[in-house]
Amino acid sequence: MQILRPIQISDVALVSSTVAVADPDAVNGYWDTTATYSVGAVVQVDNDGTGTKPNFTFTASGKIITCSAAHYLYDRSTVSLTTTGALPAGLSPGTLYYVVNGSTKGDWGVKTTLNLSLTKGGAPIITASAGTGTHTLTVNSHGVVDSNGRIKIVQTHRLYECLVAVLAGTNLEPRKAPATWFDIGASNRWALFDAKNSTQTENADSVTYVIQTKGRIDGVYVGNVSAASITITGRESGGGAIVYGPSTYQLVSTLTISSYYAWFYDPIERKKHFIDLDLSATYTDLELTMTLTDTGSTVKCGTLVVGLSKTFGETLREGATAGIVDYSSSSIDDYGEQSFSERGYSDRMSLQIIVDRLATDAVKYELTKYRATPIVYVGSTLYESLIVYGYFKSFSVAMTYESHSICTIEVESIT
């Protein structure tokens, strides 16, 4: 069994895409504080209304980061940094930082200062210099207050539907007014990064994403995909020489053809999930290009994961099972008529893994890190149903043998 640990795709990491920035479902365009909106209006928020990347210039002194404008960032929001010169000592470009000591629920639009940490809720980084040039902070995720008053962290690229008429100049920015604006979900360009399989990025004929990675990666996964083929190319950082591919894979199901009739008349079945774990981890900071193609049709993709894999042990064929949990429902009225409501479902996978005795504790500790974080679990690349993007429901170890242990894990996909 292997796992693929995702890197977070930020505005800085996403070099380019053939999917338009503007979402076609945002019929009222980008949110604008000077506009009047009626009930049912749908707007896009990529920052605080301009439709561009959510950027703030900043200065640094010790722990304190001072933004050029109110930053609207709750703790646990994530940001990346760039500069025209050199960043303050202690900060690095392309690194994902967590906000600490940012906003609270009552101070939207007031705070301009925050601290940065390498971990959620971690110790603030203390800068040793002011750096040179102009420094820019790019928001990758931010917090919103839901209808229950709880803060949740979401991407910056979202669609919102107006629930109550909004007059121009009232400054009811969608992210801070849950009673006025309903969060529909990620914009089309960013839907495949929202940790949900059911929301898909869509584009005619093909979908291309160019991602600048940080550190080492060796795997790419796409889930809930509708396409004829996928092409993966790896270049040296910044779009240099090709070091991997271009490798093209046909996304055709391996379902056996049982008759001549099926060969000529049955529709071609395609894979819903695909993983490539053959990228070389020798290279660091790859620029990765992924293209899904289906000429003449609409390409769809629910999840794109790029990351570094880790092998735990060998999957036992006898102990591997796959299935689904269906959330559809049925009901019978007073006249005995039955009706069905089709809803989503999640994939389930149960595995038994042989693990070397000396590695048993390390496997347990490593999996514990991801108990509430979606990652890709690979029981076997021979079976599409044994590749699941989700989280483990249970994990146990039987120290039955002197030289090895038997681990049992049950994984459920995200919906």
Residue listed under structure tokens 């109110």: 70
Tell me which of 147-151, 282-286, 315-319, 407-411 is least confident. Answer: 147-151
Q: Which long-range contacts (CB under 8 A, 24 or more apart) does 331-338 make?
A: none
CA dihedral 322, 324, 325, 328 (to 10 degrees): -170
Using only the alpha carbons of the chain, give its radius of gyration. Answer: 24
pLDDT of 72 over the 80 cut = no
Over residues 339-374, the pLDDT tens digits come to 888 888 899 999 999 999 888 899 889 888 888 889
Q: What is the pLDDT of residue 386?
A: 93
The SS3 of residue 324 is strand
- Name the average pLDDT for the chain: 87
- Residue 124 preceded by cis peptide, ω within 30: no
Distance between CA atoms of residues 21 and 205, nearest Å: 17
129 vs 176, which has greater pLDDT? 129
Q: Minimal CA–CA distance to 277: which of 191, 376, 414? A: 376
Residue listed under structure tokens 């076609």: 24
What is the pTM assigned to this prediction? 0.82
Beta-strand relationship, 97-100 and 113-117: antiparallel
Residues of the chain with CATH 2.60.120: 193-304
97: Cβ–Cβ under 8 A, 6 or more apart, which residues? 78, 79, 80, 81, 91, 116, 117, 118, 125
Q: What is the pLDDT of residue 56?
A: 83
The SS3 of residue 397 is strand
Question: Hey, what CATH class is 193-304 in?
Answer: mainly beta
Q: Minimal CA–CA distance to 376: which of 229, 217, 199? A: 217
Q: Minimal CA–CA distance to 109: which of 26, 170, 38? A: 170
Q: Which long-range contacts (CB under 8 A, 24 or more apart) does 364-372 make?
A: 364/395, 364/397, 366/310, 366/312, 367/3, 367/392, 367/395, 367/409, 370/3, 370/5
Residue 126 is classified by DSSP as P
167 vs 353, which has greater pLDDT? 353
Over residues 91-120, the pLDDT tens digits come to 998 788 999 988 766 665 568 899 999 988
